[in-house]
Structure 1
Amino acid sequence: MESNNKAFTYFDESFDTKEQLPRAFSVSFEEIAGADVPQVRVVLDDNQLGDIINDNSIENDFYRYHDIFHYSFATLLGWSPCARAMMKKKRKSDRIIDEVQDGARAAITEEAISLIVFNEAKRKDYFANSRSVSKTTLRIIKEMTENFEVHVRSEKDWELAILESYRIFRLLICNNGGKVLFDMNNKEISYQSAIN
């Protein structure tokens, strides 16, 4: 599947690099040994990103790996207020952008999208044998993001980002974590097992 975007626009291109999402980076998802419940630590350059995550669920549904969605959205859509906050890449030099595009409402919207998609994904074996996201889910995502810069991304762009993030999500589950390489310039995400 190909994106509908002929030329990819970086929403943060006009900002200093310290306020840009990194164009290439790698993140490790590390299962914490000996924890009472399964937990994951997410690490970039030896620094923990965000909080240690568990499933926050009665069932073991692997939601502890859901940060993969934020970093995938950042890479494939150029948008993730959650990744910006965790990586300390908020665009604070512009008060309006910082408040509206990188603020709490945008981050809550992204978390809600992740959960909406996750609920569909669980019913579909985390998209293991599916090449599509429901039209209803994609329509809801477009409606939820219409006031944010990412509104220019098409439903097809969202579908590609979701399916690719779930490809990696399944690898993280199968291997109890691992390292994920993100290449925003080439719109590629690749996986390495933790033993590499």
Structure 2
Amino acid sequence: MNDYFDDWLPAGERIPRRLEMTLSSETCPQGETVRMTINGFPAGDPLTDGGWIDHDESDDPEGGEEVAGARWHDALHLAHAVCLGWSPVLRELVGLRRRSAPWLYEFEDGAQAVLAEEAVARAVFRHARAAGRRPGAPVDADLLARVREHTSRFEVSARSDAEWTHAIRTGLASLHAVQTHNGGVLLGDLTTRSLVFRPPAASPEGIPVGSGSGRKVVGAVSG
């Protein structure tokens, strides 16, 4: 990866080169929820599976069913940040919109970019469901084409198909890990474009996820 799209900006507007995302499951009146912290700070609202609804085109658009497991999908956004240096959703969650560059702030980090990334996450999630939720399922040309369509107007369009494939596989492996263990810690290193999973209440040594270099990151990552 040649750049992170923010090398030249103040530190408070750059995605940290090391990221620690903690996802924890709770039961509340709305059902099962997931709370998230990033580098030790609470980020976003608790998510339920009801955040994503599947609609049958013949049904009332207000109908549909919850997407089981969608409450864990922030793992996909973390993979985008770590593997691509791009995630308007993560920037919004942790206050990293690039205010010193008005065009980036309004367009690349704004509502349109957030919607585009959420559309990518949904496409990847549905791809995994169609493949039987196998984290190592091949990333086919149709999925890459959908990703390209959603992101064609944004800076991340500079990333190659190989980089997107790595990000998708890493994101799905991370999603599978936190869902299987009902939570955990994801440790991201932007310099190696790698993610490591640490199960809840586990030792500091983590489990590499995704299709990267195979490097193992040991210990918690701080901001």
TM-score (structure 2 length as normaliser): 0.80
Partner of 2:36: 42
State the alpha-carbon separation in 1 of the partners of residues 200 and 87 from structure 2: 25
Partner of 1:90: 97
Contact 2:88–2:109, Cα closer than 8 Å, also in 1: yes
Cα-to-partner distance string for 1:89-131 (whole Å, 9 max, x where unaligned): 110111111011101000100001111111111111223352x
Mapping 1:39-188, distance limit 5 Å: 39-56=33-50, 57=53, 58=65, 61-130=68-137, 132-188=138-194
For residue 48 of structure 1, report the CA deviation from its aligned partner: 1.5
Root-mean-square deviation (Å):
1.5
State the alpha-carbon separation in 2 of the partners of residues 23 and 75 from structure 1: 8
- Any gaps of 5 or more consecutive residues in structure 1? 1-6
Q: Give the aligned residue type for 1:149.
A: E
Cα-to-partner distance string for 1:34-93 (whole Å, 9 max, x where unaligned): 555111001124422111001115456211000011111001001100011111111011
Higher relative contact order (CA 8 A, sep 6+): 1
Larger fraction in helix: 1
For residue 25 of structure 1, report the CA deviation from its aligned partner: 1.7
State the alpha-carbon separation in 1 of the partners of residues 136 and 108 from structure 2: 34
Partner of 2:20: 26
Contact 2:76–2:174, Cα closer than 8 Å, also in 1: no
State the alpha-carbon separation in 2 of the partners of residues 128 and 72 from structure 1: 13
Contact 1:133–1:159, Cα closer than 8 Å, also in 2: yes
Contact 2:35–2:45, Cα closer than 8 Å, also in 1: yes
Contact 1:139–1:155, Cα closer than 8 Å, also in 2: no
Q: Provide the aligned length of Structure 1 versus Structure 2.
A: 189
TM-score (structure 1 length as normaliser): 0.91
- Any gaps of 5 or more consecutive residues in structure 2? 54-64, 203-223
For residue 184 of structure 1, report the CA deviation from its aligned partner: 0.4
State the alpha-carbon separation in 1 of the partners of residues 40 and 173 from structure 2: 25
Q: Give the aligned residue type for 2:9.
A: F
Deviation above 6 Å: which 4+ runs of structure 1? none
State the alpha-carbon separation in 1 of the partners of residues 15 and 152 from structure 2: 21
Pick closer, same or farther for the CA change 1:179–1:136 going to 2, 3 Å.
Answer: same
Identity rate of aligned residues, in percent?
A: 28
Contact 1:40–1:53, Cα closer than 8 Å, also in 2: yes
State whether structure 2 residue 6 is matched by structure 1 residue 12: yes
